[in-house]
């Protein structure tokens, strides 16, 4: 199987697993479908240990869920940005033929004819 196709299939599988619970209505039996597991654990603590009083509160709590979701998006954006930057730098380095540690001296020029799996001698999966 071509390497690129396998990668796309992996992404599709991950997306399908994420979407499936919503499609089959896995949260329908709940009053509020799809709550966060972390919040559910807080409720479980209150249920198992009703006398327990949290003795410390967060220093800063986003004043609304809108702001909180924005901060979550910010977290993901920072992470995705850094990953994109790293992949970009690596790819550029490789394309410019930066002397690599163990690259073979001959045949270093791109050989589009060679299949992506030529070196491994086997399909990706």
Partner 1 sequence: MHIAEGFLPWQHAAAWTAAAAPFVAHGIRTMTLAVRADPDSKLLLGASGAFCFVLSALKIPSITGSCSHPTGVGLGAVLFRPPVMAALGTVTLLFQALLLAHGGLTTLGANVFSMAVVGPWAAYGTYRAVRALTRSLPETTALGLAVFFASALASVSAYTVTSLQLALAHPDPADGFLGAFAAFAAVFSLTQIPLAVIEGLVTVVVVRLLSTVGRDDLRRLGVLRSPDPAPAAAHRTDEKAG
Q: Could you say which residues in the range 32-91 bind partner 1, by CB under 8 A?
A: 33-42, 44-45, 47-49, 52, 54-62, 68, 71-73, 75-76, 78-83, 85-87, 89-91
The yes or no reply on residue 27 touching partner 1 (CB under 8 A) is yes
- Site residue total, partner 1 (CB under 8 A): 90
d(Cα 6, Cα 4) in Å, to the nearest integer? Answer: 5
d(Cα 85, Cα 81) in Å, to the nearest integer? Answer: 6
d(Cα 35, Cα 89) in Å, to the nearest integer? Answer: 39
The yes or no reply on residue 1 touching partner 1 (CB under 8 A) is no
On whether the CB atoms of residues 68 and 62 are closer than 8 A, the answer is yes
> Which CB sits closer to partner 1, 37 or 66?
37
């Amino acid at each position: 199987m071509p390497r690129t196709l396998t990668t796309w299939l992996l992404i599709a599988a991950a997306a399908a697993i994420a979407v499936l619970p919503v499609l089959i209505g896995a949260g329908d039996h709940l009053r509020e479908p799809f709550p966060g597991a972390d919040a559910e654990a807080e409720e479980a603590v209150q249920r198992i240990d009703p006398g327990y009083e949290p003795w410390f509160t967060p220093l800063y709590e986003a004043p609304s869920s809108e702001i909180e979701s924005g901060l979550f998006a910010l977290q993901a954006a920072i992470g995705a940005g850094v990953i994109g930057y790293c992949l970009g730098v690596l790819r550029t380095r490789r394309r410019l033929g930066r002397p690599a540690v163990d690259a073979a001296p001959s045949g270093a020029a791109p050989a589009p004819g060679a299949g992506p799996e030529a070196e491994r001698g086997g399909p990706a999966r």
